[in-house]
Chain A
Amino acid sequence: MLAEQFQPTATEAPCFRAVGIFKAFGHVQALQGASLDAYAGRVTALVGDNGAGKSTIVKIMAGLFPADDGHLELDGHEVRFRTPTDALNAGIATVFQDLALVEVLDVATNIYLGRIPVRWQLVDDRRLHDDAADQLQALRIRVPSVRVPVGMLSGGQRQAVAVARAVTQGSRIIIMDEPTAALGVRETRQVLDVVRELRAQGRGVIVISHDLETVFDLSDSISVFRLGRLVGVRRTAETSRDEIVSLITGSASVAVGGS
């Protein structure tokens, strides 16, 4: 199984990090020296207000566009991604908000898109669907059948398929942009279960989320972005919702009532 090639325990050195990233779009300074660390076997939540630069740093880490300044480090070595393929080859897969699935193709084909197994130049249909079924099973993802077109799946199932694809891309680091946005309660739980499974397999996960309940439920540490900068990192077990909210809003010194 793929899972066995990863260390099952969390190590304290970050395996993938973005350091001092600057990025401007025209006159808008989206990132101003932002940093973010991911650890193997840990879920890092990335929170912040709209426009704090969460999606921007994730896109830079995924190789969608380059940073103006700053750099990326993988296992302590500086890396450069010019295309999403570079990032994928380095073991970093991203599940974007729009999922990037092809609705007319079935579950298995979506999972292996770009790496469809062939035999004598012809697609090995049986292996494609068996491998996809194995992969989904390993992640405990449940869909009606690997032959169902993705267009027929629910939002949660699509999200799970997108995650399964990221995992089969051989990724050590999986970045998920708002994986539970627009999902119902049960679907959200399904996706969160998948994320926990990824963590159990020793992969590093970065999850962007607006939903603090999800963040506290799921993450090991929380990184807070504000106005294009990292303003705080907290261990989830040692912080409170109030502290995170005040970091997000920038009123860190003001104690907000309640326990």
Chain B
Amino acid sequence: MKTVRLAGSEGTTPSPNGDDSLTVQRADVGRDRLIERVLRNPQTALLIVIILFSAFVELSNRNFLTFDNVVNILRDGSFIFIIAVAGTFVLVGGGLDLSVGSVFALSSVASAMLIANYGIPYPAAFVLGIVVGALCGLVNAIIVIYGRIPALITTLGMLYVARGMTWIITGGSGTQYLPQGFGDIASLRQWGVPLMVYYAFLIGIMAHVILEHTRFGYGVRAVGGNREAARACGINVTRTTLILFVASGAAAGLSGVLMASRLQSGQPSIGQGLELQVITAAIIGGTSLFGGLGTIPGTFLGTLLIAVLQNGLVQIQIDPLWQNVVVGIVLVTSVGLDQVRRARMWRGPARARA
């Protein structure tokens, strides 16, 4: 970093012949050394918190860091993570989707009932369940884009509608005894780990590549960072927003269908409050509620922290009722620390020169 010249702000006048010593830096300058980046990364702090908490729990209960329990944590986290990945895209793109918990449940019972009540083959039911989620997302998108109703309100409405539909179509009772083949989709183990977890990792990696290394990902960040600027630069804001909401609905649908597979039943009561866990995971991981900022690895760590907290607090026999208290405190603290960090970063160069 020491070779960087802060031209135009370092107090000297530009030389009249505009000599080359004052020109911009090449691409490789301004890339910090790896160790520096790791240390300054807020996700490093998050990782340390996860490790410290895990060590603390492990010390009081030796069952915590066993293979089986770690797999349990990953599996429970996977249901949140799949939705949180799409949720990160929505937030980075300047949107918000509160409906995912209800859409999760609706897709879940829809796929279960298609198998049990309508005799649809389970692979088809699996796909149709995802389609139900995607359709909910499409309705959200259309209302937000063409109805110009804020995403907060639109998806809050969908939260009620999808939950209501879930209760109506099930009549309040679950669908039991789904075929083993359907259950295997999520629960079959490879090297001792349920397939569910592999799906979540695969989705996470694909999403990361899309967000950080494709034009679409750059477009999402631009739309969330400054909608008008994105439009002026020829980015299709409408199409981007549409894709984000449909993806969010589809992800909620996928996660819901996988939950039906895991439980081998469709339960109308699942997924209540899931939307808040999803948003919490993304925000703890550094995603901004105001758009533009956020990463998939951050969301991964945010999800991991929630899953580890939920599991660990049970392991050290803390009343489950306290879980929400802890998660709430962690959420507010992490956002508070992040704001302090960002304020410093934004002012940093100016102060360094002073």
> A-side interface residues toward B, CB under 8 Å?
84-85, 88, 96, 98-105, 108-109, 113-116, 118, 121-123, 125-126, 128-130, 133, 136-137, 140-148, 151-152, 154, 156-157, 165, 186-187, 190, 193
Q: Are A133 and B25 in contact (CB under 8 A)?
A: yes
Of the residues B24, B214, B217, contact of A137 by C-beta under 8 Å: B24
- Minimum C-beta distance from B5 to chain A (A): 7
Q: Which residues of A contact B217 (CB under 8 A)?
A: 123
What 7 pairs between A and B have smallest CB-CB spacing?
A142-B7, A129-B27, A145-B30, A114-B233, A104-B292, A102-B225, A100-B229
Q: Say if the beta carbon of B226 comes within 8 Å of chain A.
A: yes
Q: Are the C-beta atoms of B8 and A105 separated by less than 8 Å?
A: no
Q: Which residues of A contact B18 (CB under 8 A)?
A: 140, 193
Residue contact B222 to A100, C-beta cutoff 8 Å: no
Q: How far is the CA of A133 from the CA of B209 in the complex (A)?
A: 25
**Footprint of A on B, CB under 8 Å?**
4-9, 13-14, 18, 22-27, 29-31, 209, 213-215, 217-218, 221-222, 224-226, 228-230, 232-235, 292-293, 345-346, 349
Is there an interface contact between B346 and A146, defined as CB atoms closer than 8 Å?
no
Contact between A154 and B9, CB atoms less than 8 A apart: yes
- Asked if A190 contacts B14 (CB within 8 A), the reply is yes
Residue contacts A-B, CB under 8 angstroms, 19 given: A84-B232, A88-B234, A98-B228, A100-B233, A102-B292, A103-B225, A108-B27, A113-B235, A123-B218, A126-B27, A129-B27, A142-B8, A144-B6, A144-B349, A145-B24, A146-B25, A147-B30, A186-B13, A193-B14
Q: Out of A101, A145, A151, A187, which one reaches B25, CB within 8 Å?
A: A145
Q: Find out whether the CB atom of A133 lies under 8 angstroms from the CB atom of B13.
A: no
Among B8, B25, B213, B293, the one with the most A-chain Cβ atoms within 10 Å of its Cβ is B8
Are B349 and A152 closer than 8 Å at their CB atoms? yes
Beyond A100-B229, A142-B24, A154-B8, list 20 extra A-B contacts (CB 8 Å): A85-B234, A96-B232, A100-B233, A105-B221, A105-B292, A113-B230, A114-B230, A114-B233, A114-B234, A115-B233, A116-B218, A118-B215, A125-B27, A129-B26, A137-B24, A142-B22, A145-B4, A145-B24, A145-B25, A152-B349
Rounded to whole angstroms, the CA-CA distance of A140 and B8 in the bound complex is 11
User: Chain B: interface secondary structure?
Assistant: loop
A126: nearest residue on chain B (CB-CB)? B27
CA distance A24 to B210 in the complex (A): 45
Q: With a CB–CB cut-off of 8 A, which chain B residues contact A147?
A: 27, 30-31
Q: Bound complex: CA of A84 vs CA of B237, how far in Å? A: 14
Q: How far is the CA of A148 from the CA of B25 in the complex (A)?
A: 11
CA distance in complex: A146, B24 (Å): 7
Residue on A with the closest CB to B225? A102
- Min distance, Cβ A148 to any Cβ of chain B, angstroms: 7
In the bound complex, CA of A154 to CA of B353 (Å): 13
**Nearest-neighbor residue (CB-CB) of A107 within chain B:** B24
